Structure 1
């Protein structure tokens, strides 16, 4: 089972690692989108969220306090869903459907990250294939 958890961690973390790279290297277009959503200091928010994604995904990927890494991803996902994909405020039906899809995706990923955090916090070293023990638990 250790290998299954490791493969799941890698697949899950790679999504966020690629997103972190995008936030840190293409902050201009992402900041313009964030500004359009009314976010204050959009460039700083994009860069800050990029660092949050980077730290969370590397923690989970490498197995260094993976429970903390998963929780950091939740800290990114839930506000992103609520602020950046607030479909309930979008009048255009096509744009609303797109934002709803991204909102649901972010919330589902947050649920998966919470489940991973719980797994590592409860199972600890029994999960295996991590560099450190969980920070919580």
Structure 2
């Protein structure tokens, strides 16, 4: 990967991380509301699940920014995003007045999932901890 590609890759990693890192921090700051929201979705083991989701979003976002185990992290976040989209934005089961917004959010997440899959395939590039590890 040349310097231009590595720069674009870094910008892309940061852009994708802007979805996960702030979302995880918001969930952490408003933990009670997060637990209530997850409960409204009918999800099991609420307390454990909420903490797992927060950890995935915060640690995954940081790993993307730093370019740390990028291929594995990006693939894991892609799977996480698919699951979160199916559970959190089921436009096919939403009331008519909410279906359009749910569909937009679902499609947005599929675009993010696509970016994560490309990142999983391409790796982090030169500006990453992954690149520093491979030089050592």
- In the TM superposition, what is the alpha-carbon distance from 1:75 to its structure 2 partner? 2.7
Asked if residue 58 in structure 1 is aligned to residue 62 in structure 2, the reply is yes
Which structure exhibits the higher relative contact order, with contacts defined as CA atoms closer than 8 Å and separated by 6 or more residues? Answer: 2
Q: Please tell me whether the aligned partners of residues 59 and 68 of structure 1 are also in contact (alpha carbons under 8 angstroms).
A: no
Residue 13 of structure 1 is matched in structure 2 by 17
1:99 to 99, 102, 120: 102
Provide the aligned length of Structure 1 versus Structure 2. Answer: 129
Taking the TM superposition and a 5 Å limit, the aligned residue runs for 1:1-137 are: 1=4, 2-90=6-94, 92-120=95-123, 127-133=125-131
Output the TM-score relative to the length of structure 1: 0.83
Q: Deviations over 1:60-93 (max 9, x none)?
A: 1101111122122113201111111111112x22
**Structure 1, gaps ≥5 residues long:** none
Runs of 4+ in structure 1 over 3 Å off:
none
Q: Deviations over 1:1-44 (max 9, x none)?
A: 12121112112212211111112221221222221121112332
**Structure 2, gaps ≥5 residues long:** 132-136
Distance 2:54 2:118 in 1: 22
Output the TM-score relative to the length of structure 2: 0.84
Cα RMSD (Å): 2.0
